[in-house]
Structure 1
Amino acid sequence: MREGWKEVTIGDLGQVVTGKTPSTKEKKYFDGKYQFISPKDLGDDSRYINNTLTTITELAIEKFKNQVLPKNSIFFTSLSYGFGKMGIAKDICLTNQQIHSIVANPEVSDFNFVYYLLRYNTSLIRSHDAGIVTPIVPKSIFCKIKINLPPLNTQRKIASILSAYDDLIENNLKRIKLLEEQAQLTYEEWFVRFKFPGHETTKFDEETGLPEGWEKVKLNQIADFQNGYAFYTKGYSENGYTIIDLGNVSEYGDLNITGKEKFISEELYNELPKFHLNKYDIVIAMTDVTSALRILAKSAIIDKDNTYALNQRVGMLRPNTELFDYAFLYALLSDPRFIGRMKAMSKGAVQFYFNTKDIVNYETFLPSKDVIENFTKIYKPILELRMKLKDQNQHLKEARDILLPRLMSGMIDVDKLDVGSLTYEVNDSLGMVAEENKIYSK
């Protein structure tokens, strides 16, 4: 342990608060201006929580004043499927009972540092699991877990370095959100309101209600569909080709590589060529285990060739016409009308799903060639920039995650660093981040 560092318990960092859920029978407690945080609102890599599925009122804040959390409290999910999911409070809020929160004592700990400290020690915390089936670390045990704590000034320097990466990631996420809104507005303007260039002089077919030259089609007439394979029946490998499953399709319509993927061997991959995924193939989540249906019918674009294999419960679509490429197909699959239709057709009680028949028989329309070409000229650059920003974020996360254990263990001495002079700029090629990745991988 470095000089000045000391062994403390999590309870020494500040006040530890376990949340509580207001009775859903009491409507007066819900639909207010305050956030109610549950594991469903936290991601594997979330920091500040901007939106929650549930909000609560001033009455709930008064009723549960002993569980109310101030701004900058740190959340740690210590129970259930979401074990280890974390976040930081943006304002006054309440959490459910699956979350332990730390209100950092500013004389002992920096709240930003505590966030990264818990993230670094997630495996240690989980090793104190007292559950039999469901993972759980009770508050009494959570508070007594021992960790190494540097002096406050060192804490702030470490947090500042790691926050620089997360600040860039969050800035990119804001840009991505704006691009998504721009893309969706463009699609709606052209294909919902039919306000595409030249619409003023376009004639509409009285029978179909579509512009002349457009036709009604089923999805399987314009795209090939492939269901995934149950690779678990063949066994996984320690490395090899990455299996794309439900966890890799985000609720935002992105490919989400988490670092927790399973792999199959080259031999098995070569035995099953129809489950290979090519760059620009589109995968779609056909099952969702959450009642909120956050990923059901959401799509993602494959970013590499010769890397991935398609798992069960995920479908793949590939354009089978020369009239358009992946960009128009992705726009069609991102249309809220398509997503809403698939959700409406979903079956099941615990697991919600739609089947192959539901998707291939989905009725849509095929615009004229010139309209598709003009739309693609506008939409595709938006999509490509969005994908580039996602790729940048992936590199930033990798660089940050390499630094995290080295900073938290004291391997890298930050005491002599002028953190204020450290800048992390991302250019189009991500040269700096890529270079840092090489350096810290050594």
Structure 2
Amino acid sequence: MMIRWLLIGLLTVSGTAQAVRPIDPPGLLPTEIARPLLEQDPGVAAARAGLEVALQEAGILDQSPHEWATRVTGQRRVQDYGPGNSATGNRREWQAGIERTIRLPGKAAADRSIGKATVEESQARHGEALHEAARELMALWVDWLAAERARELAELNLQSAQASLAAVEKRARAGDASKLDVSIAHAELAEQRRMENDAKTQASAAWLRLSTRFPGLKRQVLALPTPLPIGEGAAFWRERILAESDALKVVQAQMRKAQAHAERARADKTPDPTLGVYTASEIDGRERISGVMISVPIPGGVRGSRSAKAIAAVEVSRQEVELKQRQLEAEIASAVATARGAYDSLHIANEGAAAMQENARLMQRAYALGEAELQALLLARRQATVAMNNALQGQVAALRAYYRLLVDAHLIWDLEHD
């Protein structure tokens, strides 16, 4: 019989998706083990470093892009008083000034909005990297537990083949079975040994994939649990997953950034003025000049074109948000339907596996009593093996679907904090 662990921690719904408390279902890695594995993932670490880059970018945008500029010039004035005149006409003169372009207030506000949206986008990308790593960890973990369960089933089938061979040899010694039957039983045992070795290999390979992708995980085999039915409605999962979706938050932040860029381009239609002060010395210092300088570029058509381009980009971002939301809604509806269908299929497969196992047990007994042929026994064994493997695959599919909903809804591994 398949070992069943009931998943505890039913979701508590109080009308909204946000009211659901996180759960820690048995059979899945506990949070205190899974969370460090996720934080150490290179993709998550890269996204975390990207967040620091975004914070630095926001700090840069918060400051004016213009800097103080100094200007110093020196010259010599030469005057020619004509031939025969010994008076010198060389005069040393200089001019010094300091100036700076002033960022207008509307542009400063737009730059800060761009910086804020950049940080929000980076935060969402970090959450999405964590979410994708969680999906991968969940899938590899379930694959390994399933491979270990398949190895256990292969060992049981090997034991059954050994029991069948013993029964054939006993009948052969009594003169009730032919040498051909003994040979067929030996061949069946060899085939079961091969399948048991393949199952061991698959289990080892599954563990290597898991432990290599997420190093530091200790090998501790748990029983493959049986999922509970999806009791919540599709509307619950839709609201919860959309509210927690970092992929949706990324495109929403990109839309806000595009809107801020449009505001910046609109404000940039008015050029920033340059203000400065200067002082000068002429005729060897006999004349001193000081003054104030104001410089304003004359705007051309390029500024208006850039503003129109930025406004058009906002519409592109708005449509991308709508597209991403529709894609997520379709994925959520499909995931919920898949989880429910997989759960129903699992129960059907379990019923079939139980019937086939009982049939094989009765056939084994009948053969031992001389009431059935060897081929009928082997056929019953093969049918039971196929039915048990089908039930295992149904269990894995149902678990994957259920765990994926939990990951997407950020209900496990403290994903709701990101």
For the aligned pair, the TM-score class normalised by the smaller chain equals: under 0.3
- Larger RCO, structures 1/2 (Cα 8 Å, 6+ apart): 2
Q: Comparing both structures, which one devotes a greater share of its residues to helix? A: 2
TM-score of the superposition, structure 1-length normalised?
0.21
The higher radius of gyration belongs to: 2
More strand by share: 1
Provide the TM-score with structure 2 as the length reference: 0.22
